[in-house]
Amino acid sequence: MSSAIITTAKEENEKIIISFVNGSLMMGTYANAYRFNSPVVNVYDWNLARLAQVVLPSSLFQAKGIINSYNINGDKLKIVSTTCLGPRKINALYTIYNFKAGKLDQMEYLEKKKVDRDDFVGSVMWFKDKYIVPYFSPKGIMNQSKFELSLAQNTYN
């Protein structure tokens, strides 16, 4: 079963952000999992005129789902999204979209310092000159009963 799933609908700095992914539900005997591909981020003004559309090359096959975090500061849209780079290798993709130029300024994978390769990304905490990415590590029976948290501090480029 495949469908478009809205992952975010919020207002920030006089702009409306709506993102969605193409998601497929995979049902198993013991657990269900989702496959999420290429989140699409749309930004609108209050007249519902689209200011930007960004397609992220993110993919995740995981029961936890995909998390996208957004920050709008001036003419820049900053996005951190979860992506899978291979078997049990999950990472965060950092993207900057420039509204004035109408294009991407930057797209890179964040370095995971002292974080396990299969830890998944939570909602980012945005600050004036830095941002903190929380990484969650599932532990316990079928990796669902307990989570350990690691924080990675990053500065804006």
Q: Half-sphere exposure of 8 toward its Cβ, with a 13 Å CA cutoff? A: 22
Question: Which of 154, 116, 106 has its CA nearest to residue 132?
Answer: 154
Instruction: Work out the mean pLDDT of the chain and round it to a whole number.
Output: 78
Look at residue 62 and tell me whether its pLDDT is greater than 60.
no
**Buried b / exposed e along 36-75 (16+ C-beta atoms within 10 A):** bbebebebbeeeeeebbebebebbbebebebbbbbbbeee
Look at residue 63 and tell me whether its pLDDT is greater than 50.
no
Look at residue 145 and tell me whether its pLDDT is greater than 70.
no
Rounded mean pLDDT of 80-99?
A: 80
- Answer for the pair 133, 152: CB distance below 8 angstroms, yes or no: yes
Highest mean pLDDT among 16-25, 74-83, 97-106, 111-120: 97-106
Confidence (pLDDT) at 3:
66
Domain assignments of the chain as residue spans, ordered by start? 2-113
* Amino acid (1-letter code) at residue 24: S
Look at residue 149 and tell me whether its pLDDT is greater than 80.
yes
Confidence (pLDDT) at 90:
76
Rounded mean pLDDT of 115-135?
A: 83
Query: What distance in Å separates the CA atoms of residue 4 and residue 36, rounded to the nearest whole number?
Result: 9
- Poorest-pLDDT segment among 26-30, 48-52, 64-68, 69-73: 64-68
pTM passes above 0.85:
no
